[in-house]
Structure 1
């Protein structure tokens, strides 16, 4: 399985847009894709795919309940599908995940007969996914957590062990890269027993200005792996896709979008190339006979 978390500590740099369209690009390659929206805020991945109708329903089963061992049904019943992509939608209960996991830790450790037992908050999503046999059911797992550090991010990273980082070449984007290695080391320290791989920083919203180039040069100086794909500023296509709650690929197939197809075609091709680049990183090297 190809598991990764799309994350940047700077908001508004295209994290959710990148996750949504990469999910569709992987699906177009014939890969079975599961996306998990770990962001409790409105307007995230769940909204992008038009699956937010039950987000505020306190009666429905949701991922947080399963992470607390309080699921009201099977994991498979959480899954909804859009554009051939399976999705675990966000739920308002994610807004109290940190507090709920803290209470679960206290209860589990107080009631466990083993005095050395430790309830590990950051490992609960991984446990749920393994119990549901997700690693063998899907080819690709993409998780979209909020920008802030905390249990949403820690659970996402522990479940995937890999980060893909959208980078906007601007002062805002620079915030997401400066000191990134310190952030990753901090996550590894928090999670204790994993090494976090960085699949690449993806330059996004690039306009080709001198200011853009300044921050792209700064990215190179960080000695981080940079994806061989640059996503240009395509406000029309990406914005229209967001407004219509579809991926850019679905938008491209619409007759109403016909006049802009040729102009926007390179954007689709770059997401295709990025999905291929990520996939290649997980391929096992051929062994010569």
Structure 2
């Protein structure tokens, strides 16, 4: 089973688009894919895939209720099928108060002399739902900043993919995330691996070549490097679909550089699958 979270402390680097595109590539290769939206921003996977869902409805069952042990139904009933047969657990506004909810649960447990880990609740929910038996790939799109949402995501998936802007600012975000992962590992005794760094918006400048070289020399895996694709990604958000569907259904002509980008995401998806020992049942042309 392949599990990971696209993570970056820097904003605007394509974290959510990366999650959606890789999920689509895994699904097109024949894998059963679950994506979990734990991003509190409106521009999240739930918006990207565009299902008919009210994230502000306080009465609807949602992931937060399951995380704090107060579900209104079965976990699998939370899933909404979206593009390509991907199952999406949508985001909900209650995520914004998750820290407070988890603190309350921790306090109640301690009052009864019980142990309670605030950061293992997503892992618990997925284990109790036997997600491993039903899906080949699980991707969690979480908040970028340190906190219980990100920590729950990392404890559950144990692996990260890092979308990366090849600039000095982007390099700082990589180093900051490395420190964050190290700190998490030390505090809760969980190993978190970096499956890939994904440079996006690469223009092959001298400075970018140096940064890319430093990344690889530092031991970060960099299977593919994606160029500037602002128009493609903006079109995807406008049409609420992945780049595969956008190129196939919303472009009047095929652009070689966009087809190259799709091939690169496929190459990255196959790399991630190999890391988990997954074989693709089929590949959709």
TM-score of the aligned structures, taking structure 2 as reference length: 0.93
Deviation at 1:179, TM superposition (A): 4.3
Query: How far apart in 2 are the matches of 1:160 and 1:274?
Result: 18
| Paired position in structure 1 for 2:153 | 156
Report which stretch shifted further, 44-53 or 146-155: 44-53
Deviation at 1:188, TM superposition (A): 0.6
Report which stretch shifted further, 52-61 or 195-204: 52-61
3-state SS, counterpart of residue 143 of structure 2: coil
Determine whether 1:210 maps to 2:211.
Answer: no
Determine whether 1:199 maps to 2:195.
Answer: yes
| Paired position in structure 2 for 1:24 | 24
1:1-289 correspondence to structure 2 within 5 Å: 1-51=1-51, 53-83=53-83, 84-112=85-113, 117-192=114-189, 194-221=190-217, 223-254=218-249, 256-283=250-277
TM-score of the aligned structures, taking structure 1 as reference length: 0.92
Structure 2: state its 5+ residue gaps. Answer: 279-285
Deviation at 1:204, TM superposition (A): 1.2
Question: Residues 250-288 of structure 1, C-alpha deviation per residue, up to 9 Å, x if partnerless?
Answer: 11221x41314444110110111000000011118xxxx
- Preserved contact between residue 9 and residue 177 of structure 2 (Cα < 8 Å): no
Deviation at 1:52, TM superposition (A): 6.6
- Preserved contact between residue 15 and residue 166 of structure 1 (Cα < 8 Å): yes
Runs of 4+ in 1 over 4 A off after TM superposition: none
Query: How far apart in 2 are the matches of 1:23 and 1:209?
Result: 30
RMSD value, Cα:
1.7
Deviation at 1:181, TM superposition (A): 3.1
Query: How far apart in 1 are the matches of 2:169 and 2:111?
Result: 44
